Structure formats: structure tokens, C-alpha cells
Amino acid sequence: MILHLQYGFENSNNCDTVGKTLRYYRVHKGYSTRELADKVGVVPATITLYENDKNTIKYKTAVLLADLLEIDRKLLLDDYTTFIDYPCNVLLQEVRENLSLNQSQIAQEIGVAQSAYSVWERATRIPRRQVYEKILQLVKRANIHI
């Protein structure tokens, strides 16, 4: 007599944080933390921090992880990295136009130099996480949903 046991893998419905989502798909794909860390160029402790929601996943790392795990990268993005993924330069232009501001005026509202804002709109650089909250206030004021 052959007995066949099947171990049911829990579904992803309990993945209510980015960390739980990462852990679920890592285990589902059969990667150890070390294997996954090696593939994305971080130390295993970093993967553990991500999975325990102790550290936010940087945008480029989230994209690499999603590609390796063959999942939609939005599952691994927090609010800031979702803003970067939008792409943020298009969103910034849209906000500025909806609020009828020029680059100098919007830069002043955010509290940065006009030259810094200009490179964001040209997609040469991205805004830092520290100014994201100020940008988000303008996004809400412009009545735009990300």
C-alpha cells in the first residue's frame, strides 16, 4: 500500500504586510534566506529584517526580489516605493500642473531647491523618502490618487 501525503501550503491571504508577503513567496519558491539574499546582493540578515517588517525594502531591491519570486512587484512596495514606481516624475508634473504652480513654486512648498525639484521631473534623480510626506500632501491637495 502506498500512502500519499500532501502538505497544503497556506494561501497568501494572511500576508497583510510586505514582510509576510516576502516570507510567503520566498518559502513558496523554496529559497532559504541565504539563497535569496545572495541572488539580490544583500546579507541574509537583511532579508530577515524585511520579513519581520523591521526594515523597508529599497525600490531596486524590491524589483529584484519580485522578479526572482515571479510576483507583481507592487506586493513588495510600501507607500514611498509605490510613489517611486508610479513613475514619480510623471506624478510630480501632474501635481504641479493641477495646482497651477511652476517648478520654483512647488519646490518652495516642498522645501527643496528648484534645481533638486527639476531633476526629479526629468527623472534624473528621485526624491528622498524624507521629502515624500511633503510631496504626498501636495498630491492630496491636487486630488490625485496613486
* This prediction's pTM: 0.76
Report, as an integer, the average pLDDT of 89-101: 96
- What does pLDDT average to over the chain? 91
pLDDT tens digits, one per residue of 106-142:
999 999 999 999 999 999 999 999 999 999 999 999 9
For residue 11, what pLDDT is reported? 64
Report, as an integer, the average pLDDT of 30-40: 97
Helix axes 88-98, 103-110, angle to 10 degrees: 100
Per the CB < 8 A criterion, the answer to whether 61 and 32 are in contact is: no
Nearest-angstrom CA–CA distance, 119 and 48: 34
**% of the chain surpassing 90 pLDDT:** 86
Taking phi first (over 0 means left), then psi (-120 to 50 degrees means alpha), and beta for anything else, what does residue 31 get?
beta
By CB neighbour count within 10 A (0-12 exposed, 13-18 middle, 19+ buried), where does 15 fall? middle
Nearest-angstrom CA–CA distance, 126 and 19: 24
Per the CB < 8 A criterion, the answer to whether 103 and 121 are in contact is: yes
Residue type, 48: T
* Residue 10 confidence class, pLDDT cut points 50, 70, 90: low
Residue type, 139: V
Residue type, 134: K
For residue 119, what pLDDT is reported? 97
Q: Indicate the Cα dihedral angle 7, 13, 16, 17, nearest 10°.
A: 50
How many Cβ atoms from other residues are within 10 Å of residue 127's Cβ? 21
* Residue 64 confidence class, pLDDT cut points 50, 70, 90: very high
Pick from 28-32, 82-86, 89-93: least confident:
82-86
